[in-house]
Amino acid sequence: MTRERASAVAAWVSAAAGVALLAAAFLLELSGISARGELWTAAGAGGAFLLSLAILPAAGAHRFAVRARLLTAVGVSALIAVAALWQGSVKPDPSVLLLLIPVALLFATAGLALREASVEGRRSRLHQIRSRLDGAEAERRRWARELHDDTLQELAAAHVLLAAAAAAPDPAARSAGIADAREIVGRQIQSLRRLIAQMRPLALDALGLAAALEDLARHAHDRDGVEVEAEVEGLARLPAATETAVYRIVQEALTNALRHARAARIRIETGALGEGLRVVVRDDGAGPPPEGFTAGHGLRGMRERAELLGAALHVGPAALGGTQVTLDLPAQAM
């Protein structure tokens, strides 16, 4: 378990303890049994919420909203504690009410945090939309370049060959020209099939993620001559959005291993991780650079897809050399 994940678990445990103590304080307030017990229970709830606030990881898609809720819970706990202190006084002292000032400040801070959470959420959604549009535009440019540089020029060459064959008086020359044109058209049919598979693999919709990953490994082997293994047996069907995101992450990891790491052997494997799923892409290539991977190599898109799934993505050196990409999907993504 990573330090960040351990901090998140500890923060949620502390928050859960705070909720339990706050509920007990509410019951004591309603029953009026023990003002002293209510005071200490509410103070304990506030302390638990503050501890959760202190150890909550700085990163996270909903960090602002979570902090705002924790601050609100601290304010409620403080309000109950002040009420218990007032009720427990032998002779109620009006100066106790001055404690409501920091309570009011806590609620004001929580309100500002909620506003910031709303702004951050809107900013995050805009960033995700922009990233998706940028990614789609980059894919369109790549397809246009491949169609122009490869398919269009080859078809133009086939057109020239067919025109020359039609004008050739010699039957042998005519047959040779037609044969050459057919070879070019056959190559471009395969190229277009590969491009269509990259745009949206048919196996992903028809047969699921396991078949699509096996097909991806087979195409990579046939195209690049690199040994690519896919150990994905027993992988059940997942929600369509999850399968698409996992497939694109694996596809990008495989592309990086082939283009940048100069790998000779790549392995794709899946396995259970509690009630979730772990997906690993491991290669024997050059490994991560000394300064680590930058936002290039498609890493930003991989991280954004993982974040949308609520999954953890780790890219680093493999145990026996090369690079390992590990995607841990939680149960709720399945």
Q: What separation in angstroms does the CA of 13 have from each of 56, 109, 306?
A: 11, 23, 24
Yes or no: say if 326 and 280 are a contact pair by the CB < 8 Å rule: yes
| Strand, helix or coil for residue 316 | strand
The DSSP 8-state label assigned to residue 260 in this structure reads T
pLDDT along the chain (334 residues), means of 10: 72 86 84 80 84 74 72 81 73 60 66 68 70 66 71 81 82 83 82 69 76 85 80 82 87 82 84 85 76 62 83 83 86 77
Domain total of the chain: 3
178, 198, 218: which is the final residue of a domain? 198
Sheet of 276-283: strand order equals 227-231, 265-273, 276-283, 323-329, 312-317
pLDDT for 110: 65
Same domain, 14 and 98: yes
CA 255 to chain centre: 18
147, 168, 198: which is the final residue of a domain? 198
Same domain, 184 and 218: no
Same domain, 329 and 213: yes
Same domain, 277 and 244: yes
Yes or no: say if 86 and 96 are a contact pair by the CB < 8 Å rule: yes
- Tell me how many degrees the CA angle 191-196-198 measures, rounded to the nearest 5: 95
Q: SS3 string of 8-39? A: HHHHHHHHHHHHHHHHHHHHHHHHCCCHHHHH
**pTM (predicted TM-score):** 0.52
Yes or no: say if 278 and 327 are a contact pair by the CB < 8 Å rule: yes
Same domain, 163 and 109: no
Any bridge partners for residue 74, and if so which?
none
Same domain, 211 and 143: no
156, 178, 198: which is the final residue of a domain? 198
Output the domain CATH number for residue 297: 3.30.565.10
As a whole number of angstroms, the distance between CA 51 and CA 30 comes to 26
Same domain, 257 and 276: yes
The DSSP 8-state label assigned to residue 234 in this structure reads T
Same domain, 96 and 158: no
Same domain, 277 and 187: no
Domain extent at residue 159: 138-198
pLDDT for 49: 83
